[in-house]
Chain A
Amino acid sequence: MGRKILFITTDQQRFDSLGCNGGSVARTPTIDRLAADGINYTRAHPQSVVCMPSRSTMITGQHVATHGVWMNGVPLPDEAPSIASTLHDVGYRTALIGKAHFEPFLDPFLRFVENQLGTSGDFSRDVNGHLHRGFDHMESASHGGMGSFHYARWLMQNHPEAIGMYYRVLDMTLQVNSSGGGDTAGPQVHHNAIPREWYHTEWVADRTIAWLDSLNANDDWFCWMSFPDPHHPWDPPQSELHRVNWRDLDLPENYPVDRTEREAILDAKPRHWRLWYEGEFVSNYEAPASWVPKTLTDDQVREINALTHIENELIDEAIARVLRTVAARGWADDVDIVFTTDHGELQGDYGLLFKGPQHVDSLMRLPLIWRPAPSAGVAPSTVTSPVGLVSLASTFAHIAGVPEPSYVEAHRLPTHDAEAPALGHERVLTEWDSVLFGKIVRLRTICRDGWVATACLPGTVHDGSEGELYDVSNDPLQRENLWNDPRLEGTKSDLLADMWDSLPSTASPRRECDAPV
Chain B
Amino acid sequence: MFIDRPAEHVWSLVGDPARLHEWFPTTATEVVGNKRWVSLASGLKFEEDIVTLDHDLRRFQYTIVNNAIVKSHLGTVDVIPDGDARCVVVYSTDADPEVMALMIAGAAGDGLERLKTTMEES
Contacts and interface: CB of A to CB of B under 8 A. Distances in A.
B90 to A, nearest CB: 16
Contacts of B98: 437
A467 interface: no
A512 B107 CA distance: 11
Contact of B25 (A104, A111, A148): A111
A110 B107 CA distance: 9
A513 interface: yes
A515 interface: yes
A42 interface: no
Interface string A427-445: 0000000001100000000
B61 interface: no
B33 interface: no
B103 A173 contact: no
B42 A515 contact: no
Given A73-B102, A108-B103, A111-B110, A174 B69 contact: yes
A119 interface: yes
Nearest to B100: A174
B85 interface: no
A514 B68 contact: no
A513 B102 contact: yes
B99 A108 contact: no
A145 B97 CA distance: 23
Q: Among A116, A174, A175, A436, find the residue whose CB has the most chain B CB atoms closer than 10 A.
A: A174
A106 B100 CA distance: 10
B21 to A, nearest CB: 11
B98 to A, nearest CB: 6
Given A116-B41, A174-B97, 11 more contacts: A106-B99, A108-B103, A109-B25, A109-B42, A119-B42, A173-B99, A174-B69, A175-B97, A512-B105, A513-B102, A514-B106
B1 interface: no
A270 B51 CA distance: 47
- Range of interface residues on chain B? 10 to 19
Interface in A171-190: 172-175
Contacts of A148: 42
B103 A107 contact: yes
A108 B38 CA distance: 12
Given A109-B26, A172-B69, A173-B97, A514 B102 contact: yes
- Range of interface residues on chain A? 20 to 34
A110 B40 contact: yes
Contacts of A73: 102
Contact of B42 (A104, A108, A436, A512): A108
Interface in B87-122: 97-100, 102-103, 105-107, 109-110
A515 B102 contact: yes
Interface in B60-74: 68-69
Given A111-B25, A175-B97, A515 B103 contact: yes
Interface of B: 25-26, 40-42, 44, 68-69, 97-100, 102-103, 105-107, 109-110
Contacts of B102: 73, 436, 513-516
A109 B69 contact: no
A173 B110 CA distance: 24
Contacts of B103: 106-109, 514-515
A437 B109 CA distance: 18
A109 to B, nearest CB: 4
Nearest to B44: A108
Nearest to B25: A109
Contacts of A107: 42, 103
22 contacts: A104-B106, A108-B44, A108-B103, A109-B25, A109-B40, A110-B40, A110-B41, A110-B42, A111-B107, A173-B99, A174-B69, A174-B100, A175-B97, A175-B99, A437-B98, A512-B106, A514-B103, A514-B105, A515-B99, A515-B103, A515-B106, A516-B99
A108 B109 contact: no
B11 to A, nearest CB: 23
Q: Among B40, B69, B106, B110, find the residue whose CB has the most chain A CB atoms closer than 10 A.
A: B106
Contacts of B100: 174
Contacts of B42: 107-110, 115, 119, 148
A57 B51 CA distance: 45
A148 B68 CA distance: 20
A121 to B, nearest CB: 14
Q: Among A73, A110, A512, find the residue whose CB has the most chain B CB atoms closer than 10 A.
A: A110
Nearest to B111: A109
A178 to B, nearest CB: 14
Interface in A154-177: 172-175
Contacts of A115: 42
A73 to B, nearest CB: 7
A471 to B, nearest CB: 40
Interface in A62-83: 73
Interface string A500-517: 000000000000111110
Contacts of A104: 106
Q: Among B68, B100, B103, B105, find the residue whose CB has the most chain A CB atoms closer than 10 A.
A: B103
Interface in A294-346: none
Contacts of A106: 99, 103
Contacts of A436: 102
A513 B103 CA distance: 9
